[in-house]
Amino acid sequence: MQSELKGYRVLVLAGLLLLGLLFSLMVSKLFSELKELSVADSGNLSRWNSYQFDAEFANLELTLAEHIAYRDLPIDEVRLRANIVLSKIFVMESGRIGEIVWENKNAQVLFEPVRQFAMNTIDILERSDEIALSDLLILRDMIQDVRPTVHELALFVFKLEESAALERRDKFSRQLRWTGGFAIILLFMMAGLLLLLDIMLRTAMQRDTDLSAAAVQLASTVAGSSNAILTADSYGKIIEYNASAEGLFGWTREEVIGKTMEEIIFPKGIGAAYKNAMNRSLETDEQKADGDSRIELSALQKSGEEFFVELSMTFVQRNGRAIFMAYIRDISDRKLIEQTLINARDQAERTDKAKSQFLTVMSHEMRTPLAGIIGVMDLLKTTKLTKKQDHYRRIVTSSSEVLLEHINEALDITRIEGGELQFSIQSFSLPTLATSLIAVLEPLAVEKKLDLILQIDKNVRFDFMGDVNRIRQILINLVGNSIKFTDDGYIRLEISGTDHAGISYLQFKVTDTGVGIAPENQKKIFDDFVALSFGDSRQKRGDGLGLSISRKIARLMSGDIEVKSDVGKGAVFTLTIPLQQIDEIENRAMIHPYFPEVRVNPINVLIVEDNDINMKVLCDMLMVDGHTVSTATDGLEALEQAGNQVFDVIFMDISMPIMGGLEATSRLRAGDGLNAKTYIVGLSAHGSEEFREQAEEAGMDFFHTKPIRMNALNKIIANIRSAPEPATFDESLSPVLQELRAAIGREKVFIVGAKFFNELDIFIQQSINGELLRDYTILAEAIHKMRGAAALLGQERLEKPLGKLEKNALDGDVTDWSNDIQNLQDVAQRSKVDFHSFLRDS
Partner 1 sequence: MSDPNFSYLSRALVVFLIFVFSPVFAQDKGLLQVTLLKSDTVYLNLEALDMLEQTHFKTTTMWTSGKIQVSGVSLKTLLKHLGARGESIELTALDNYSIVMPIADLEDGAPIIVTHMNREIMSVRKNGPYWLVFPYDSDPKYQTEVTYGRSIWQLTELRVVN
Footprint of partner 1 on this chain (CB under 8 A)? 32, 35-39, 41-42, 44-45, 48, 52, 55-56, 76, 79-80, 83-84, 86-88, 90-91, 94-98, 122
Which residues, in sequence order, are bridge partners of residue 240? 231
Least Cβ distance, residue 83 to partner 1 (angstroms): 4
- Residue 259's contacts (CB-CB under 8 Å, 6 or more residues apart) are 237, 238
* Phi and psi at residue 558, to the nearest 5°: 65, 20
Shorter beta-carbon distance to partner 1: residue 91 or 532:
91
Helix ranges (DSSP H) in 448-560: 468-484, 546-556
Nearer to partner 1, 36 or 346 (CB): 36
Element (H, E) at 297: strand 295-300
Nearest distance in Å: CB 97, partner 1 = 7
Cβ of residue 58: shortest distance to partner 1, in angstroms? Answer: 12
Cβ nearer to partner 1, comparing 131 with 557: 131
Q: How, if at all, do strands 306-318 and 295-300 pair?
A: antiparallel
Residue 25 beta carbon to partner 1: minimum distance, rounded to whole angstroms: 14
Q: Name the minimum Å distance from CB 124 to partner 1.
A: 13
81 or 836, CB closer to partner 1?
Answer: 81
* Phi and psi at residue 209, to the nearest 5°: -60, -50
Nearer to partner 1, 38 or 206 (CB): 38
**Nearest to partner 1 of 48, 594 (CB atom):** 48
How would you class 630 by CB atoms within 10 Å of its CB: exposed for 0-12, middle for 13-18, buried for 19 or more?
A: middle
| Closer of 94 and 279 to partner 1 (Cβ) | 94
Could you tell me the smallest distance in angstroms from the CB atom of residue 41 to partner 1?
A: 4
The answer to whether the Cα torsion of 203, 207, 213, 217 is positive or negative is: positive
Min dist CB 21 to partner 1, Å, is 19
- Burial (CB count within 10 angstroms: exposed 0-12, middle 13-18, buried 19+), residue 742: exposed
Q: How far is the CB of 108 from partner 1 (least distance, A)?
A: 16
Q: Are 780 and 789 in contact (CB under 8 A)?
A: no
Residue type, 704: H
We find the least distance from the C-beta atom of residue 110 to partner 1, in angstroms, to be: 20
Rounded (5°) CA angle 434-437-441: 140
User: How near is the Cβ of 197 to partner 1 at its closest, in Å?
Assistant: 38
In the bound state with partner 1, the residue whose beta carbon lies nearer, of 67 and 832, is 67
CB of 91 to partner 1, least distance (A): 6
C-alpha span between 17 and 189 (Å, rounded)? 12
Nearer to partner 1, 172 or 462 (CB): 172
Q: Strand pairing partners for 451? A: 490
Residue 724 class from Cβ within 10 Å (0-12 exposed, 13-18 middle, 19+ buried)? exposed
Using the minimum distance from each CB to partner 1, give the nearer residue, 139 or 265.
139
Contact assessment for residue 479 and residue 437, using Cβ atoms and an 8 Å cutoff: yes
Residue 32 or 383 having the CB closest to partner 1: 32
What CA–CA distances, in Å, run from 392 to 372, 378, 400, 419?
17, 12, 12, 40
Q: DSSP letters along 503-516, please?
A: EEEEEEEEEE-SS-
Longest dimension (CA), the chain: 210
Nearest distance from residue 148's CB to partner 1, in Å? 21
Residue 186, C-beta contacts closer than 8 angstroms, at least 6 positions apart: 19, 23
Query: In the bound complex, what is the minimum distance in angstroms from residue 42's beta carbon to partner 1?
Result: 4
Peptide bond into 519 cis (omega under 30): no
Per the CB < 8 A criterion, the answer to whether 793 and 752 are in contact is: yes
How far is 161 from 167, CA to CA, in rounded Å? 10
Nearer to partner 1, 143 or 632 (CB): 143
* Burial class, 430, CB count within 10 angstroms (exposed 0-12 / middle 13-18 / buried 19+): buried
Nearest distance from C-beta of residue 317 to partner 1, angstroms: 57
Of 462, 466, 554, which Cα lies nearest the Cα of 510? 554
Please give the Cα distance from 469 to 475 (Å, whole number). Answer: 10
* Pick 143 or 517: Cβ nearer partner 1: 143
Residues 6+ apart with CB under 8 A from 188: none
